[in-house]
């Protein structure tokens, strides 16, 4: 087995028990599990994979997801979380082979109240480019717009 953090060649996707990881939710297949099963990934470890977002908010937007179907990021095992976070820098390097971002937003929408719309835990790596918004100050703080411009409250 190679280093936990190196990209591995594609192999038949399975979960940690060696079984197919295509989960069904209310009779529907999970879109992320389906992408994993199809090998539609750019990087992978034993417990996590990365792939380009089908609806990117910027060029190079990537998602890192656990192989095992789990809705809640906080219910992932410690090992799954470590492998997800371990893919962040490799994913950044992969993005930079095709794009030249000036910065990044990295985030997790955990739960409906936080804006999670796909019922499979995932981490977003969103490349940012100078000029992509008028004023990028506050970054992720804009999820609650009334609280974002803290510099105006001083």
How far CA 64 is from CA of 118, 132, 152, in Å, comes to 13, 23, 34
Provide the pLDDT for residue 149.
Answer: 67
Task: Indicate if 69 belongs to the active site.
Answer: no
Provide the pLDDT for residue 150.
Answer: 62
Tokens of 33: 């599990």
Distance from C-alpha of 63 to C-alpha of 89, rounded to nearest angstrom: 13
Domain ranges of the chain: 24-152
Provide the pLDDT for residue 131.
Answer: 94
Provide the pLDDT for residue 151.
Answer: 65
* Active-site position among 61, 69, 120, 122: 122
**Model confidence, pTM:** 0.80
The CATH code of domain 24-152 reads 3.30.428.10
Provide the pLDDT for residue 8.
Answer: 40
Each residue's pLDDT expressed in tens, for the chain with a length of 154 residues: 333 333 443 343 333 333 344 455 545 589 999 999 999 999 999 999 999 999 999 999 999 999 999 999 999 999 999 999 999 999 999 999 999 999 999 999 999 999 999 999 999 999 999 999 998 888 887 777 776 666 677 6
DSSP string, 101-139: -SEEEEE---SGGGT--SSS--EEEEEE-TTSSS--TTG
Helices vs strands, H then E, count in the chain: 2, 7
Provide the pLDDT for residue 6.
Answer: 39
């Amino acid at each position: 087995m190679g280093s936990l953090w190196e990209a591995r060649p594609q192999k038949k996707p399975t979960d940690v028990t060696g079984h197919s990881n295509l989960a069904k939710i209310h009779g529907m297949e999970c879109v992320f599990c389906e992408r994993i099963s199809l090998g539609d990934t750019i990087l992978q470890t034993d417990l996590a994979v990365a792939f380009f977002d089908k609806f990117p908010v910027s060029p190079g937007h990537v998602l890192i997801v656990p192989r095992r179907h789990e809705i809640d990021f906080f219910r992932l095992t410690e090992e799954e979380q470590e492998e997800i976070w371990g893919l962040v820098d490799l994913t950044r390097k992969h993005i930079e082979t095709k794009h030249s971002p000036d910065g990044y937003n990295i985030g997790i929408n955990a739960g409906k109240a936080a804006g999670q719309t796909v019922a499979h835990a995932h981490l977003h790596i969103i490349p940012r480019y100078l000029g992509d918004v008028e004023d990028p100050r506050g970054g992720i703080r804009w999820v609650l717009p009334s609280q974002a411009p803290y510099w105006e409250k001083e």
